[in-house]
């Protein structure tokens, strides 16, 4: 199973493209703002309601829109300007932040208000994420796409790392009310730049695909049928979906329990360092693959091998009893995760037919992000029945089995 796309030039960093550099910076600011809003809104909502159910709803409302709307949003990208759809996402993000701010100022926040704002935030995410994948191809083209996807994944990790810290600092210095309004400013650079950014299908001189109506569930079914004719794309979507369904990032939520069981010093500090090890491995992967990426070809076989190593790393971590060893294994897990996840997205981007690119990218987003809504069941709920170590081990093993089967099938098809 090999890529059908042309090989990119050896020196193919997307940072060479000025427009992409601007996109990357504004993308990272928006990602940081997304996480700052989580920090402030979750803290205030918890202080007011002390509701575990609301915390659960926050997770569902974040990922369920990806499951329901990714393909329809992709279909919209096949018909309309991706820049405007991203801007619509930014407007929804701003609406959510301003909404939180209003209820903070008036001290009138009710449970249903919080649920509505969390849902708006989730819908903003799917508009932004899916449409950004579409615009990314228009900005850099096929030759630089692998680098651009990898850099975006690295920027996402940076946003996730920096956002909570900046959010906490803002809350301490300005308070949650002023802080949530200040957070709006971080969304504006991307919103304003896209007003006149010279990118999109028509700027590349590409003709639009057939004008197919956006039909919701029927679009999802039809896109699955279309993707079945594209073995590589189908394999990468299945691989990303298996990672999302069985594991996702749900083990992050269980990290305090792992830190406690490792019994090394203060559980809070131990918890922070475990998360930092995972993120540090991902950041190193982004840097090395960007600067020394020629040693790892962008092929389906490479993505599957890296995915297998990720699953094996988490399976190993589940049985760790040594804190230093756990740090090392999580560092490797972060390295492998960014490597395979960015490669799967790049391969889908490179091999998606242009006429239905938006729908295919929407299906990938639905698989890679939307199915995370169920990873809380596979890791979290199973963990409540047994324990978090056993649940993570079982989930990781299930993923390894799926990834292994996909790898073997790919080798058979390539034979």
pLDDT tens-place string over residues 208-245: 555 555 566 777 888 889 899 899 999 999 999 999 98
Cα atoms in the 13 Å half-sphere on the side-chain side of 67:
15
* Residue 385 confidence (pLDDT): 66
* Residue 118 confidence (pLDDT): 92
Residues 80 and 121 in one domain: yes
Give residue 3's pLDDT band: very low, low, confident or very high (50, 70, 90): very low
Domain presence at residue 6 = no
Domain presence at residue 230 = yes
- H or E stretch at 285: helix 267-291
pLDDT at 380 over 80: no
* Residue 104 confidence (pLDDT): 93
Residues 402 and 284 in one domain: yes
Give residue 16's pLDDT band: very low, low, confident or very high (50, 70, 90): confident
* Residue 44 confidence (pLDDT): 86
Domain presence at residue 161 = yes
Residues 225 and 140 in one domain: no
pLDDT at 71 over 50: yes
* Residue 96 confidence (pLDDT): 96
User: Residue 238, Cα to own-chain centre: how many angstroms?
Assistant: 16
* Residue 122 confidence (pLDDT): 92
Give residue 149's pLDDT band: very low, low, confident or very high (50, 70, 90): confident
* Token pair in block for residue 243: 């990672």
Range of the domain at 124: 13-203
Domain presence at residue 85 = yes
Q: What is the pLDDT of residues 162-199, one digit of tens each?
A: 777 787 788 888 988 999 999 999 999 999 999 988 88
Share of the chain above pLDDT 70, in %: 84
Compute the Cα dihedral for 49, 50, 56, 58 and give only its sign.
positive
Return the CATH number at 248: 1.20.1250.20
pLDDT at 402 over 70: yes
Residues 171 and 64 in one domain: yes
Rounded to an integer, the average pLDDT of 293-318 is 88
Residues 90 and 235 in one domain: no
Residues 169 and 226 in one domain: no
Cα atoms in the 13 Å half-sphere on the side-chain side of 301:
12
Residues 406 and 312 in one domain: yes
Q: What is the mean pLDDT of the chain?
A: 83
Domain presence at residue 183 = yes
Residues whose CB falls within 8 Å of the CB of residue 262, separated by 6 or more in sequence, listed in order: 270, 320, 321, 322, 323, 326
Residues 251 and 359 in one domain: yes
Choosing from 203, 238, 256, the residue where a domain stops is 203
Domain presence at residue 3 = no
Rounded to an integer, the average pLDDT of 287-298 is 74
| CA terminus-to-terminus distance, the chain | 9
Which of 162, 183, 159 is CA-nearest to residue 171?
183
Rounded to an integer, the average pLDDT of 369-375 is 81
- Say if CB 72 and CB 219 are below 8 A apart: yes
Q: Which residue has the higher pLDDT, 376 or 34?
A: 34
Domain presence at residue 5 = no
pLDDT at 405 over 80: yes
User: Maximum CA pair distance of the chain?
Assistant: 67
Choosing from 143, 169, 203, the residue where a domain stops is 203
Domain presence at residue 2 = no
Residues 333 and 395 in one domain: yes
How many domains in the chain?
Answer: 2
Residues 280 and 174 in one domain: no
- Say if CB 52 and CB 209 are below 8 A apart: no
* Residue 202 confidence (pLDDT): 63
Residues 398 and 372 in one domain: yes
Q: What is the pLDDT of residues 114-144, one digit of tens each?
A: 999 999 999 999 999 989 988 988 898 878 8
Choosing from 203, 225, 255, the residue where a domain stops is 203
Q: Which residue has the higher pLDDT, 128 or 415?
A: 128
3-state secondary structure of 251: helix
Residues 181 and 303 in one domain: no
pLDDT at 56 over 80: no
* Residue 204 confidence (pLDDT): 57
Choice among 125-139, 255-269, 340-354 with the minimum mean pLDDT:
255-269
């Amino acid at each position: 199973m090999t890529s059908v796309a042309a090989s990119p030039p050896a020196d193919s960093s997307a940072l060479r493209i000025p427009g992409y550099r601007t996109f990357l910076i504004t993308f990272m600011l928006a990602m940081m703002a997304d996480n700052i809003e989580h920090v402030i809104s979750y803290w205030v909502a918890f202080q007011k309601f002390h509701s575990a159910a609301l915390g659960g709803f926050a997770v569902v409302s974040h990922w369920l829109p990806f499951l329901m709307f990714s393909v329809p949003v992709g279909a919209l990208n096949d018909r309309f300007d991706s820049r405007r759809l991203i801007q619509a996402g930014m407007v929804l993000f701003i609406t959510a932040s301003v909404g939180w701010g209003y209820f903070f100022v008036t001290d009138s926040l009710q449970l249903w208000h919080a649920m509505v704002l969390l849902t708006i935030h989730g819908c903003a995410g799917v508009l932004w994420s899916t449409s950004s994948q579409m615009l990314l191809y228009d900005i850099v083209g096929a030759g630089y796409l692998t680098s651009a996807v990898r850099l975006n994944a690295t920027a996402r990790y940076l946003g996730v790392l920096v956002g909570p810290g900046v959010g906490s600092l803002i809350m301490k210095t300005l308070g949650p009310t002023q802080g949530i309004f200040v957070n709006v400013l971080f969304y504006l650079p991307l919103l304003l730049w896209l007003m006149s950014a010279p990118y999109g299908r028509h700027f590349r001189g590409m003709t639009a695909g057939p004008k197919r109506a956006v039909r919701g569930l029927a679009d999802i079914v039809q896109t699955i049928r279309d993707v079945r004719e594209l073995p590589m794309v189908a394999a990468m979507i299945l691989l990303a979906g298996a990672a999302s369904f069985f594991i996702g990032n749900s083990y992050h939520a269980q990290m305090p329990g792992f830190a406690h069981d490792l019994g090394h010093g203060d559980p809070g500090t131990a918890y922070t360092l475990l998360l930092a090890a995972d993120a540090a491995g991902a950041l190193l992967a982004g840097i090395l693959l960007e600067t020394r990426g020629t040693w790892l070809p962008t092929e389906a076989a490479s993505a599957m091998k890296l995915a297998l190593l990720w699953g094996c790393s988490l399976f190993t971590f589940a049985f760790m009893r040594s804190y230093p060893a756990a740090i090392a294994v999580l560092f490797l897990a972060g390295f492998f995760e960014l490597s395979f996840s960015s490669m799967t997205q790049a391969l889908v981007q490179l091999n998606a037919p242009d006429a239905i690119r938006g729908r295919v990218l929407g299906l990938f987003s639905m698989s890679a992000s939307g199915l995370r809504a169920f990873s809380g069941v596979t890791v979290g709920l199973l963990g409540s029945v047994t324990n978090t170590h056993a649940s993570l081990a079982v989930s990781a093993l299930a993923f390894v089995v799926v990834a292994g089967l996909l790898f073997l099938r790919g080798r058979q098809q390539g034979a």
